[in-house]
Structure 1
Amino acid sequence: MGDVNGALDAVRRNWDRRARDYNRFYRRFSADRRDAWRTACEKIVPALRPGGAGPLDVLDVGTGTGFLSTLLAELGHRVTAVDPSATMLGYAREEAERRGVDVSFRECGAHDVEDLASTFDLVTARYVLWTLPAPVRATAAWSRVLRPGGAVLIADSTWHTWRGDGRRLLASLRPGGDHGFAWRLLRDYVRIGRATPNWKGLTPQRAQAILAAGGFRRGERFDDLLPEFARPVGEGFFITGARVR
């Protein structure tokens, strides 16, 4: 795939640039949608860790502005949240402080989690796997930081299709629309599209194959636990979890 380190740096720079808009989006994220994610996690985590009583040690990979890491901390888990973007982490720390939760934030890429020198019960990656230049290398690293019986939880989607991007482009041209959408779509493709093998997004089958190659068992689907109104715009949204081999 070329220079992986160069690709990783391109992805990091891209999310540094997008951090402010991303944070603004989640600050406007409605309470009922966040509550829906919380309810789903309350059901999914015990299903992935049967017999794992009490709070878990969770590693939230690619935490972004802290949506999932703060939510899991609210549920009582001990959360370490990592992201390669220092700008994203700045917003995530603000979010944790605003919500009054304790999360350990570390600047670290998804491929480098073994550098943390810690082990965990659960790894979470919400809208992260599709962005990775070397996804199998990353999931293999995740499997190695999990304790016996540990599991991974993935949420992702097929983000870019002709039909989906066409709808968003048309919406951006309407009065009050996001007129910069078309430019950002082209810009992001030039910056990271050619560096990431799954830039258009992931199907559940592709995600399962990546997890299997990284050392995980066949997974199970949980997307039915998140209601439609709380899902992202796009086609093929899924939530899947798998236990480490």
Structure 2
Amino acid sequence: MTDRSDVKKLVKRHWNGRAETFDDEAHHGIHGEDQRERWLSVLDRWTGEAPQRVLDVGCGTGVISLLLAGLGHDVTGVDVAPAMLEQARDKAHRAGLSVEFQRGDAEVLAVRDDAVDLVTARHLLWTLPDPETALREWQRVAGPGGRILLIEGFWDHPEPWDEYEEVHGDLPLYDGRPPGELREVLEKAGLRDVEHEPLDDPVLWGREPRHEYYAIAGTVPR
């Protein structure tokens, strides 16, 4: 498959189908106060003093969006899958948190230049047919001096599954990358002062990590 619009349709269908049960898995949702507090600690270290204007791209069910809002940031979540956004809005309402959720394409955001201080994304780059375009787009909306913060990993699954059986060959970063390789991708895209931190604490994932997880961030040059 080479038509990117077809690739995106199948990716959207995959995540729409997983929305209702996505948070059930220990390493996806937040299950308990210890896990919540540990994630808040990680995000607080990487985001800095609140309030900041944050765009959470590929927000899914809003896990990171709601944590960031809980830290006092002004958060907007964007996702391509309507069913994921429904879950996110419901969770925000139940938590009493004010987070705006919008449907959108991570590679072509309906957001003005320099609109936010920080762009975040968790486990998103591997799902994109054009991650380089996405990284340029995120820098555009963050603007000079803005930050890009990614929660990423390297999964190295033996076989693709569901819709990914058909499209994984069209996703340049499918299965993620080790931090050193992703650092090179971010620097090639223009980010500066790129640094990363392992996220191997079992409390973060509700179990012993089965893959290599990490936070990685860089600054948009002025």
TM-score normalised per structure 1: 0.81
User: Considering only CA atoms, is the larger Rg found in Structure 1 or Structure 2?
Assistant: 1
2:55 corresponds in structure 1 to 59
Looking at structure 2, the residues matched to 234 and 198 of structure 1 have their Cα atoms a distance apart, in angstroms, of 19
Residues 51-91 of structure 1 show CA distances to partners (whole Å, capped at 9, x for unaligned) of: xx541000000000000001101111000100000000000
- Whose helix proportion is higher, 1 or 2? 1
1:37-56 to structure 2, matched below 5 A, reads 37-46=39-48, 54-56=50-52
Task: Note the C-alpha offset of 1:45.
Answer: 1.2
- The match for 2:126 is 130
Question: Match of 1:198, SS?
Answer: coil
**Range 209-218 or range 129-138, more displaced:** 209-218
Q: What count of residue pairs does the alignment treat as equivalent?
A: 216
Corresponding residue for residue 19 of structure 1: 19
- Point out where structure 2 has 5 or more consecutive residues left out of the alignment: none
- State the Cα RMSD in Å: 2.1
Q: Does the 8 Å contact 1:222/1:239 carry over to 2?
A: yes
Determine which of 190, 196, 200 is the counterpart of 2:171.
196
Q: Kindly, what percent of the aligned residue pairs are identical? A: 32
CA contact (8 A) 2:34 2:203 kept: no
CA deviation after TM superposition for structure 1 residue 27, in Å: 5.5
- Residue 176 of structure 2 aligns to a residue whose secondary structure is coil
Task: Tell me whether 1:117 sits opposite 2:119 in the alignment.
Answer: no
Partner residue in 1 for 2:216: 240
Q: Which runs of 5+ in 1 are unaligned?
A: 47-52, 166-184
Is the 1:130–1:156 contact (alpha carbons within 8 Å) kept by the matching residues of 2? no
- Residue type of the alignment partner of 1:116: V
Superposition deviation, residue 24 in structure 1? 3.1
Q: Distance in 1 between matches of 2:166 and 2:90?
A: 28
3-state SS of 1:63 partner: coil
In 1, are the aligned partners of 2:61 and 2:85 still within 8 Å (CA)? yes
Which of 36, 39, 44 is equivalent to 2:38? 36
Q: Does 1:146 align with 2:148?
A: no
Amino acid at match of 1:96: A
1:211 corresponds, among 186, 190, 193, to: 186
Measure, in 2, the Cα distance between the counterparts of 1:94 and 1:191. Answer: 32
Deviations 1:182-237 (Å, cap 9, x if unpaired)? xxx5324314322312222221123222222332114111336x633314733221
Preserved CA contact (<8 Å) 1:122 1:153: yes
